Every structure is written in C-alpha cells, then in structure tokens.
C-alpha cells in the first residue's frame, strides 16, 4: 500500500493529475470523516476536506517522501479544521498559557461542575452527547482526542500530525481525558 | 501515595501504555486501598470506552473526488502554452 502511494506521489510531482485522482479516491473517506468529527456537520466537513486535498495538490512539492503521506495529509486537514473552529467561536484563548503558571492554561482552570450535568443528559442521545462534549473542548484538545480515540492513531503519530512534541501531546491527552471524565461520569 | 498528583498521573501513564512494571505495581497497590482513586480510574476507563463507542464511520459524499478534481488549479504547462 505504501509503495503504491509512493509511486502515485512521484507521478503527481511530475504533473500527473490522474495519479492525484487515485490518491483522492484512496483517502477521501478517511479525511472527510476526520473533518466531520472535527467540525460536527456535513457541510463544513465537505468544504474543509475539499480544501485539504486541493492544498495537498498545490503543495505536493513540499511533501517529503521519506515521511508517511497519510500523516502529511492529516496534518493539512487537521490544521484547516482547527482554523475553521477558531474562526467559528473565539474559544481558542482557552489553550493559551497563562503567564507565570508554568504551563497551566485557562482550560485547566475552568470550573467543570458549573452546570448541572444530569439536566443536560436527559433527553439526549448518548452518542450525540459524547460528540457534544468532545466538541466543547478547545480545538487542539478536540483534534488530539479525535485522532487518539476515534481514529486510533498512536501518540507518536499524533505528535507528527500535530507537529507537537510527544510530551505536549501526552499532557494534552491527559487533560482532555480528565475534562471528558468530569463531563461523562454522570452518563 | 499522593492521590491527586502521583496516583492520577500514574493512571494516565498507564492509559497511554507507558507505565513501568514497578509503577504499575505501585498504582495497583494504591488502588486496592483507596476507593476514591478506584472510582477515578474506573471513570477514566469508562470515558475512553464511551468516546470509542461514538466512532460511527462516515463515508465521503457522492461525487467528492470529482469536485476536488474540478477545482484543482490548471496545470502550469497548459497556462504557459495558452499565453
């Protein structure tokens, strides 16, 4: 499989559009699904997934063949999804570190039990509720939890996709798990 | 063992599959005598199960590849030729 992709990419770099079409067919569902999980609706997922493939094509010469193509493609799709989320609602400041707190950010300072979870649980489908809680996480946490538990990437792969040090990925996954635990313990 | 810092930290290391034999033993010994941590650990594992259960597969919509191909920029060679 990796060899087939490598050959296709070589052709794309030489300007062969039909080789790129094969690449899109191979990855369309995975990338669309990832965007859908990041954005939570079909319209934006299609829009961002389309843009991800177009960017991949336009920037194909900056792709380094010694690395995994799928990781590179996921990186483009993840970054575009995060950009879209940040434009949608200004919650990204949660991810910003507070000065002088040694890595603590606003997110870890949130009062997690501020509302009555039992009330929200009622009348909501379980799956919808789980998605909603993942969606309430700041974009970086959302992408890491999605990549880890919905798409089952390893921590190392996530660090490559997100271009973050492994230690940072781990810290964020720990915080993300704790945040979701607090939200989902009443389910 | 300090629950808030050490035990919970070890739980996460365990969940990442990074825990050493020694630390795993420490954690399980602590869990045996600490109901609060037992509950915390159970909630964490259950959270992961819940998240995974929401992973419903999604297929790309019909015509997705065609739309990508239609929107690709025109090849450079052709642009040059047309000029």
Domain harbouring A24, CATH code? 1.10.1740.10
**List of chain B residues whose C-beta atoms are within 8 Å of the C-beta of residue A170:** 12, 16, 18
Q: Model's pTM, two decimal places? A: 0.82
Opening angle at CA A151, ends A146 and A21, nearest 5: 115
Residue after which a domain boundary falls, among A63, A88, A113: A88
Most A CBs within 10 A among B62, B65, B78, B81, hence the mutation to make, goes to: B65
Would residue A15 be called left, alpha or beta, if left means φ above 0 and alpha means ψ between -120 and 50 degrees? left
Please report the ipTM that was assigned to this predicted complex.
0.85
Q: With CB atoms and an 8 Å threshold, state whether B16 touches A20.
A: no
Q: Tell me what the mean pLDDT of segment A147-153 comes to.
A: 95
Residue after which a domain boundary falls, among A88, A117, A141: A88
What is the spatial distance between Cα A33 and Cα A73, in angstroms, rounded to a whole number?
Answer: 13
> A175 to chain B: nearest residue by CA?
B12
Q: With CB atoms and an 8 Å threshold, state whether B71 touches A21.
A: no
**Contact assessment for residue A34 and residue A145, using Cβ atoms and an 8 Å cutoff:** no
Handedness of CA B49, B51, B54, B59 (dihedral sign): negative
Q: Where are the alpha helices (DSSP H) in chain A?
A: 2-13, 17-39, 42-58, 69-88, 106-109, 117-121, 126-135, 139-145, 155-162, 166-184
pLDDT band at B83 (very low <50, low <70, confident <90, very high): very low
What is the spatial distance between Cα A49 and Cα A32, in angstroms, rounded to a whole number?
Answer: 5
Q: How far off is chain B from A135, nearest CA to CA, in Å?
A: 12
Q: With CB atoms and an 8 Å threshold, state whether B47 touches A177.
A: yes
Residue after which a domain boundary falls, among A20, A54, A88: A88
Indicate if A6 and A84 belong to the same structural domain: yes
Tell me which residue range forms the domain holding A84. Answer: 2-88
Percent of chain A topping pLDDT 70:
81
Say if residue A90's pLDDT is above 80: no
**List of chain A residues whose C-beta atoms are within 8 Å of the C-beta of residue B78:** none
Q: With CB atoms and an 8 Å threshold, state whether A32 touches B58.
A: yes
Say if residue A71's pLDDT is above 60: yes
């Amino acid at each position: 499989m990796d060899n087939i992709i490598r050959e296709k990419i070589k052709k794309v770099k030489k300007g062969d559009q039909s080789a790129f079409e094969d690449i899109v067919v191979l990855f369309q569902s995975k990338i669309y699904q990832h965007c859908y999980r990041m954005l939570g609706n079909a319209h934006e997922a299609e829009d961002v997934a389309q843009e991800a493939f177009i960017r991949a094509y336009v920037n194909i010469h900056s792709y380094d063949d010694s690395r995994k193509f799928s990781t590179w493609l996921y990186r483009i799709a993840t970054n575009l999804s995060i950009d879209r989320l940040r434009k949608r609602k200004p919650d990204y400041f949660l991810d910003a570190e507070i000065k002088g707190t040694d890595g603590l950010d606003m997110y870890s300072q949130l009062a997690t039990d501020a509302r009555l979870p039992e009330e929200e649980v009622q009348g909501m489908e379980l799956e919808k509720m789980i998605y909603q809680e993942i969606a309430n996480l700041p974009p970086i946490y959302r992408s890491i939890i999605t990549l880890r538990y919905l798409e089952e990437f390893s921590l190392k792969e996530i660090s490559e996709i997100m271009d973050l040090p492994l230690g940072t990925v781990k810290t964020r996954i720990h915080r993300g798990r704790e945040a979701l635990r607090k939200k989902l313990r009443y389910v | 063992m300090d629950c808030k810092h050490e035990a919970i930290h070890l739980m996460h290391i365990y969940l990442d599959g990074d825990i050493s034999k020694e630390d795993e033993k420490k954690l399980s010994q602590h869990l045996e005598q600490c109901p609060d941590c037992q509950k915390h650990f159970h909630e964490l594992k259950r959270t992961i199960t819940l998240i995974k259960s929401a992973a419903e597969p999604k297929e790309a919509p019909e015509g997705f590849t065609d739309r990508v191909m239609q929107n690709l920029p025109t090849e450079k060679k052709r642009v040059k030729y047309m000029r």
